[in-house]
Amino acid sequence: MSTIPNVQVGAAGTGPEIGLVEELQRRRALVRDSARRSIRRRRITGRAMQVICLIAVPIGVAPLVALVLATVSKGAGALSAGFLLHAPTPPGVPGGGISTAIVGSGEIVAIAIALAVPVGLFVALFLFERPGTIAAAIRFSADVLSGVPSIIIGIFTYAVFVERFHHFSNLAAGFALGVLMLPIMVRANEEAMRTVSVDLWEAGVSLGARRSRVARSVVLRGALPGVVSGNLLAVARGVGETAPLLFTVASPTFAMTLLIFNDATEPFPDAQRTAWGTALVLLVLVLILSVVARMVAWILNRKAR
Protein backbone atom coordinates (compact mmCIF):
# COMPACT_ATOMS: atom_id res chain seq x y z
CA MET A 1 0.00 0.00 0.00
CA SER A 2 1.38 3.37 -0.91
CA THR A 3 1.74 5.98 1.76
CA ILE A 4 1.08 9.65 1.54
CA PRO A 5 3.03 12.52 2.99
CA ASN A 6 1.25 14.17 5.87
CA VAL A 7 0.03 17.21 3.98
CA GLN A 8 -3.14 18.87 5.17
CA VAL A 9 -4.85 20.21 2.15
CA GLY A 10 -6.69 22.90 4.04
CA ALA A 11 -3.84 23.87 6.29
CA ALA A 12 -1.99 27.08 5.67
CA GLY A 13 1.29 27.22 3.87
CA THR A 14 1.82 23.63 2.92
CA GLY A 15 3.25 22.52 -0.34
CA PRO A 16 3.17 24.05 -3.79
CA GLU A 17 -0.24 24.58 -5.35
CA ILE A 18 0.30 22.16 -8.18
CA GLY A 19 1.22 19.52 -5.63
CA LEU A 20 -2.05 20.04 -3.78
CA VAL A 21 -4.20 18.93 -6.66
CA GLU A 22 -2.03 15.91 -7.30
CA GLU A 23 -2.00 15.11 -3.64
CA LEU A 24 -5.79 15.23 -3.52
CA GLN A 25 -6.05 12.96 -6.53
CA ARG A 26 -3.69 10.48 -4.93
CA ARG A 27 -5.67 10.36 -1.74
CA ARG A 28 -8.91 9.88 -3.60
CA ALA A 29 -7.45 7.13 -5.73
CA LEU A 30 -6.14 5.47 -2.61
CA VAL A 31 -9.51 5.31 -0.84
CA ARG A 32 -11.36 4.40 -4.02
CA ASP A 33 -8.86 1.59 -4.70
CA SER A 34 -9.26 0.32 -1.20
CA ALA A 35 -13.04 0.44 -1.47
CA ARG A 36 -12.98 -1.42 -4.78
CA ARG A 37 -10.41 -4.01 -3.76
CA SER A 38 -12.13 -4.76 -0.47
CA ILE A 39 -15.66 -4.81 -1.82
CA ARG A 40 -15.44 -8.48 -2.72
CA ARG A 41 -14.33 -9.44 0.77
CA ARG A 42 -16.91 -7.15 2.33
CA ARG A 43 -19.67 -8.57 0.16
CA ILE A 44 -18.68 -12.14 1.02
CA THR A 45 -18.66 -11.29 4.74
CA GLY A 46 -22.04 -9.66 4.37
CA ARG A 47 -23.47 -12.64 2.51
CA ALA A 48 -22.06 -15.05 5.11
CA MET A 49 -23.75 -13.06 7.88
CA GLN A 50 -27.02 -13.14 5.95
CA VAL A 51 -26.77 -16.88 5.55
CA ILE A 52 -26.12 -17.31 9.27
CA CYS A 53 -29.21 -15.22 10.02
CA LEU A 54 -31.27 -17.27 7.58
CA ILE A 55 -30.12 -20.47 9.28
CA ALA A 56 -30.68 -19.07 12.77
CA VAL A 57 -34.27 -18.02 12.12
CA PRO A 58 -35.71 -21.51 11.56
CA ILE A 59 -33.62 -22.89 14.43
CA GLY A 60 -35.07 -20.25 16.69
CA VAL A 61 -38.63 -20.66 15.49
CA ALA A 62 -38.65 -24.46 15.25
CA PRO A 63 -39.10 -25.23 19.00
CA LEU A 64 -42.06 -22.88 19.19
CA VAL A 65 -43.71 -24.35 16.12
CA ALA A 66 -43.06 -27.92 17.32
CA LEU A 67 -44.45 -27.10 20.75
CA VAL A 68 -47.65 -25.64 19.34
CA LEU A 69 -48.07 -28.52 16.88
CA ALA A 70 -47.57 -31.17 19.59
CA THR A 71 -49.96 -29.49 22.00
CA VAL A 72 -52.63 -29.03 19.33
CA SER A 73 -52.35 -32.55 17.97
CA LYS A 74 -52.40 -34.20 21.40
CA GLY A 75 -54.82 -31.83 23.07
CA ALA A 76 -57.40 -31.16 20.36
CA GLY A 77 -58.96 -34.61 20.82
CA ALA A 78 -59.83 -33.86 24.44
CA LEU A 79 -61.59 -30.61 23.70
CA SER A 80 -65.37 -30.32 23.85
CA ALA A 81 -67.93 -28.07 25.50
CA GLY A 82 -68.18 -30.59 28.32
CA PHE A 83 -64.42 -30.54 28.80
CA LEU A 84 -64.57 -26.85 29.57
CA LEU A 85 -67.81 -26.90 31.58
CA HIS A 86 -67.73 -30.12 33.63
CA ALA A 87 -65.91 -30.73 36.86
CA PRO A 88 -63.10 -33.32 36.88
CA THR A 89 -64.02 -36.96 37.50
CA PRO A 90 -61.84 -39.68 39.05
CA PRO A 91 -59.76 -41.72 36.57
CA GLY A 92 -61.93 -44.18 34.65
CA VAL A 93 -65.14 -42.21 35.06
CA PRO A 94 -66.03 -40.63 31.67
CA GLY A 95 -67.42 -37.16 31.09
CA GLY A 96 -64.96 -35.29 33.26
CA GLY A 97 -63.83 -31.75 32.47
CA ILE A 98 -61.57 -29.06 33.84
CA SER A 99 -64.08 -26.38 34.84
CA THR A 100 -62.78 -26.19 38.41
CA ALA A 101 -59.25 -25.65 37.16
CA ILE A 102 -60.30 -22.88 34.78
CA VAL A 103 -62.30 -21.10 37.46
CA GLY A 104 -59.54 -21.63 40.01
CA SER A 105 -56.85 -20.28 37.70
CA GLY A 106 -59.12 -17.34 36.92
CA GLU A 107 -59.57 -16.59 40.61
CA ILE A 108 -55.89 -16.88 41.38
CA VAL A 109 -54.92 -14.61 38.49
CA ALA A 110 -57.63 -12.09 39.39
CA ILE A 111 -56.30 -11.92 42.96
CA ALA A 112 -52.77 -11.57 41.64
CA ILE A 113 -53.82 -8.74 39.33
CA ALA A 114 -55.72 -6.96 42.08
CA LEU A 115 -52.65 -7.11 44.30
CA ALA A 116 -49.85 -6.49 41.82
CA VAL A 117 -51.20 -3.99 39.28
CA PRO A 118 -51.86 -1.06 41.64
CA VAL A 119 -48.66 -1.66 43.59
CA GLY A 120 -46.68 -1.95 40.36
CA LEU A 121 -48.13 1.29 39.06
CA PHE A 122 -47.39 3.30 42.18
CA VAL A 123 -43.91 1.88 42.63
CA ALA A 124 -43.14 2.77 39.01
CA LEU A 125 -44.51 6.28 39.52
CA PHE A 126 -42.25 6.66 42.52
CA LEU A 127 -39.24 5.48 40.53
CA PHE A 128 -40.12 7.95 37.79
CA GLU A 129 -40.92 10.96 39.96
CA ARG A 130 -38.30 10.59 42.68
CA PRO A 131 -35.08 9.42 41.10
CA GLY A 132 -32.33 8.93 43.65
CA THR A 133 -30.68 6.36 45.85
CA ILE A 134 -33.93 4.92 47.16
CA ALA A 135 -35.34 4.61 43.66
CA ALA A 136 -32.14 2.97 42.49
CA ALA A 137 -32.29 0.51 45.37
CA ILE A 138 -35.92 -0.33 44.61
CA ARG A 139 -35.15 -0.73 40.91
CA PHE A 140 -32.28 -3.03 41.76
CA SER A 141 -34.38 -5.16 44.10
CA ALA A 142 -37.11 -5.36 41.47
CA ASP A 143 -34.51 -6.72 39.07
CA VAL A 144 -33.34 -9.20 41.67
CA LEU A 145 -36.91 -10.22 42.46
CA SER A 146 -37.71 -10.85 38.81
CA GLY A 147 -34.74 -13.20 38.69
CA VAL A 148 -35.76 -15.16 41.79
CA PRO A 149 -36.80 -18.72 40.84
CA SER A 150 -40.56 -19.07 41.15
CA ILE A 151 -40.22 -22.12 43.39
CA ILE A 152 -38.63 -19.89 46.02
CA ILE A 153 -41.54 -17.49 45.81
CA GLY A 154 -43.74 -20.56 46.30
CA ILE A 155 -41.98 -21.79 49.44
CA PHE A 156 -41.90 -18.24 50.82
CA THR A 157 -45.66 -17.94 50.38
CA TYR A 158 -46.09 -21.34 51.98
CA ALA A 159 -44.16 -20.18 55.04
CA VAL A 160 -45.92 -16.82 55.29
CA PHE A 161 -49.50 -17.82 54.47
CA VAL A 162 -50.18 -21.51 54.42
CA GLU A 163 -48.17 -22.58 57.43
CA ARG A 164 -49.27 -19.68 59.55
CA PHE A 165 -52.99 -20.05 58.81
CA HIS A 166 -52.88 -23.83 58.40
CA HIS A 167 -54.85 -23.43 55.22
CA PHE A 168 -54.20 -23.82 51.50
CA SER A 169 -56.10 -21.21 49.50
CA ASN A 170 -56.39 -19.43 46.19
CA LEU A 171 -55.68 -16.21 48.08
CA ALA A 172 -52.23 -17.52 48.99
CA ALA A 173 -51.71 -18.65 45.40
CA GLY A 174 -52.80 -15.24 44.10
CA PHE A 175 -50.35 -13.58 46.47
CA ALA A 176 -47.54 -15.79 45.21
CA LEU A 177 -48.35 -15.00 41.58
CA GLY A 178 -48.66 -11.32 42.44
CA VAL A 179 -45.17 -11.33 43.95
CA LEU A 180 -43.94 -13.02 40.80
CA MET A 181 -45.57 -10.53 38.45
CA LEU A 182 -44.83 -7.37 40.44
CA PRO A 183 -41.20 -6.73 39.40
CA ILE A 184 -42.03 -7.35 35.75
CA MET A 185 -44.86 -4.83 35.98
CA VAL A 186 -42.73 -2.25 37.79
CA ARG A 187 -40.04 -2.32 35.14
CA ALA A 188 -42.52 -2.35 32.24
CA ASN A 189 -44.42 0.59 33.73
CA GLU A 190 -41.27 2.57 34.34
CA GLU A 191 -40.02 1.90 30.81
CA ALA A 192 -43.37 3.07 29.45
CA MET A 193 -43.19 6.26 31.51
CA ARG A 194 -39.69 6.95 30.26
CA THR A 195 -41.00 7.00 26.69
CA VAL A 196 -43.05 10.09 27.60
CA SER A 197 -40.73 12.91 26.68
CA VAL A 198 -39.39 15.25 29.36
CA ASP A 199 -40.64 18.16 27.26
CA LEU A 200 -44.23 17.14 27.93
CA TRP A 201 -43.60 16.84 31.64
CA GLU A 202 -42.02 20.28 31.68
CA ALA A 203 -44.88 21.70 29.63
CA GLY A 204 -47.38 20.36 32.17
CA VAL A 205 -45.48 21.63 35.19
CA SER A 206 -44.94 25.07 33.68
CA LEU A 207 -48.68 25.40 33.11
CA GLY A 208 -49.05 25.42 36.86
CA ALA A 209 -50.20 21.84 37.31
CA ARG A 210 -49.28 19.98 40.47
CA ARG A 211 -46.80 17.17 39.97
CA SER A 212 -49.40 14.61 40.87
CA ARG A 213 -51.71 16.06 38.23
CA VAL A 214 -48.95 15.99 35.61
CA ALA A 215 -48.16 12.42 36.62
CA ARG A 216 -51.77 11.48 36.02
CA SER A 217 -52.72 13.53 32.94
CA VAL A 218 -49.41 13.61 31.10
CA VAL A 219 -47.09 10.84 32.27
CA LEU A 220 -49.59 8.07 32.96
CA ARG A 221 -51.77 9.01 30.02
CA GLY A 222 -48.80 9.02 27.68
CA ALA A 223 -47.47 5.78 29.10
CA LEU A 224 -50.85 4.04 29.03
CA PRO A 225 -50.26 1.88 25.94
CA GLY A 226 -46.99 0.60 27.36
CA VAL A 227 -48.44 0.19 30.86
CA VAL A 228 -51.43 -1.83 29.66
CA SER A 229 -49.48 -4.08 27.35
CA GLY A 230 -46.65 -4.51 29.86
CA ASN A 231 -49.07 -5.54 32.61
CA LEU A 232 -50.94 -7.92 30.32
CA LEU A 233 -47.69 -9.57 29.31
CA ALA A 234 -46.78 -9.95 32.99
CA VAL A 235 -50.17 -11.58 33.58
CA ALA A 236 -49.61 -13.92 30.65
CA ARG A 237 -46.35 -14.86 32.27
CA GLY A 238 -48.04 -15.49 35.63
CA VAL A 239 -50.91 -17.54 34.26
CA GLY A 240 -48.51 -20.24 33.19
CA GLU A 241 -46.59 -20.50 36.47
CA THR A 242 -46.77 -23.77 38.38
CA ALA A 243 -44.17 -23.70 41.12
CA PRO A 244 -45.76 -21.01 43.32
CA LEU A 245 -49.05 -22.92 43.19
CA LEU A 246 -47.56 -26.24 44.27
CA PHE A 247 -47.29 -24.96 47.82
CA THR A 248 -50.44 -22.93 48.01
CA VAL A 249 -53.39 -24.44 46.15
CA ALA A 250 -55.62 -26.90 48.02
CA SER A 251 -56.08 -29.37 45.18
CA PRO A 252 -54.44 -29.84 41.79
CA THR A 253 -57.90 -29.64 40.22
CA PHE A 254 -58.09 -25.97 41.27
CA ALA A 255 -55.48 -24.65 38.84
CA MET A 256 -54.76 -25.50 35.23
CA THR A 257 -51.01 -25.72 35.48
CA LEU A 258 -51.24 -28.04 38.51
CA LEU A 259 -53.83 -30.15 36.75
CA ILE A 260 -51.49 -30.59 33.80
CA PHE A 261 -48.63 -31.59 36.08
CA ASN A 262 -50.81 -33.96 38.05
CA ASP A 263 -52.67 -35.68 35.21
CA ALA A 264 -49.74 -35.99 32.85
CA THR A 265 -47.84 -38.04 35.42
CA GLU A 266 -50.74 -40.46 35.99
CA PRO A 267 -50.64 -43.82 34.26
CA PHE A 268 -54.21 -43.56 32.88
CA PRO A 269 -54.60 -42.58 29.19
CA ASP A 270 -57.70 -40.57 30.03
CA ALA A 271 -55.81 -38.46 32.55
CA GLN A 272 -53.01 -37.90 30.07
CA ARG A 273 -55.53 -36.81 27.45
CA THR A 274 -56.98 -34.35 29.96
CA ALA A 275 -53.51 -33.00 30.66
CA TRP A 276 -52.91 -32.32 26.97
CA GLY A 277 -56.34 -30.78 26.56
CA THR A 278 -55.68 -28.47 29.52
CA ALA A 279 -52.31 -27.59 28.09
CA LEU A 280 -53.98 -26.56 24.84
CA VAL A 281 -56.57 -24.44 26.67
CA LEU A 282 -53.82 -22.73 28.67
CA LEU A 283 -51.75 -22.13 25.55
CA VAL A 284 -54.71 -20.54 23.79
CA LEU A 285 -55.44 -18.34 26.81
CA VAL A 286 -51.87 -17.12 27.00
CA LEU A 287 -51.89 -16.48 23.25
CA ILE A 288 -55.10 -14.48 23.57
CA LEU A 289 -53.59 -12.42 26.40
CA SER A 290 -50.52 -11.64 24.35
CA VAL A 291 -52.55 -10.70 21.30
CA VAL A 292 -54.86 -8.50 23.39
CA ALA A 293 -51.82 -6.82 24.94
CA ARG A 294 -50.44 -5.94 21.52
CA MET A 295 -53.83 -4.84 20.22
CA VAL A 296 -54.49 -2.57 23.19
CA ALA A 297 -51.11 -0.97 22.78
CA TRP A 298 -51.69 -0.52 19.09
CA ILE A 299 -55.14 0.98 19.48
CA LEU A 300 -54.07 3.36 22.25
CA ASN A 301 -51.04 4.41 20.25
CA ARG A 302 -53.15 5.11 17.21
CA LYS A 303 -55.57 7.18 19.27
CA ALA A 304 -52.71 9.26 20.54
CA ARG A 305 -51.94 10.24 16.98
Partner 1 sequence: MRRDNEFTDPTSGPTTNPQTAVVSRTGQLARESRESKVRPDPGAHGAAVTLEDVSITFGEHVAVRNVTLEMPACQVTALVGPSGCGKTSVLRAINRLHDHTGGTVRGTVRLGDVDVYGTDVQPEVLRSRIGMVFQRANPFPTMSIFDNVISGLRFNGVRNKRLLRQMGVAALHNAALWDIVKDRLNQPAHRLSGGQQQRLCIARALAVEPEVLLMDEPCSALDPVATAKIEDLIRHLSSEVTIALVTHNMFQAARVSDNVAVFLLGEDRVGELVEVGPTARVFDTPDDARTKAYVTGHVG
Q: Which residues bind partner 1 (CB under 8 A)?
A: 1, 3-4, 6-15, 17, 20-21, 24-25, 27-28, 30-32, 34-39, 41-42
In terms of Cα–Cα distance, which of 263, 245, 229, 273 is closest to 178?
Answer: 245
Distance CA 49, CA 173 (A): 47
Report CA Rg, the chain. Answer: 30
For residue 228, the one-letter residue type is: V
Q: Which is nearer to partner 1, 14 or 251 (CB)?
A: 14
Rounded least distance, CB 39 to partner 1, Å = 6
Q: Tell me whether residue 3 or residue 133 sits nearer to partner 1 (CB atom).
A: 3
- For the chain, the distance separating the N- and C-terminal CA atoms, rounded to the nearest angstrom, is 56
> What residue type is 10 in one-letter code?
G
**Closer CB to partner 1, residue 12 or residue 64?**
12
- Is the CB of residue 204 less than 8 Å from the CB of residue 220? no
- Residue 45 or 301 having the CB closest to partner 1: 45
219, 193 Cβ separation under 8 angstroms: yes
Residue 28 CB, nearest distance to partner 1 (Å)?
5
Cβ-based nearer residue to partner 1, 12 or 54: 12
In the complex, minimum distance from the CB of residue 7 to partner 1, in angstroms, rounded to a whole number: 7
**Burial grade of 46 (CB within 10 A; 0-12, 13-18, 19 or more):** exposed
CB of 45 to partner 1, least distance (A): 11
CB of 18 to partner 1, least distance (A): 11
Shortest spacing between CB 247 and partner 1, in angstroms? 47
CB of 200 to partner 1, least distance (A): 20
Residue closer to partner 1 by CB (options 31, 53) is 31
Q: Which is nearer to partner 1, 27 or 213 (CB)?
A: 27
d(CA 180, CA 147): 9
DSSP string, 10-61: TSTT-S-HHHHHHHHHHHHHHHHHHHHHHHHHHHHHHHHHHHHHHHHHHHHH
Query: 23 near 9, Cβ under 8 Å?
Result: yes
CB of 141 to partner 1, least distance (A): 30
| Contacts for 269 with CB less than 8 Å, ≥ 6 apart | none
Helix (H, G, I), strand (E, B), or coil: what is residue 248?
coil
Cα–Cα distance measured from residue 236 to residue 272, given in angstroms and rounded to the nearest whole number: 24
Closer to partner 1 by Cβ: residue 4 or 64 = 4
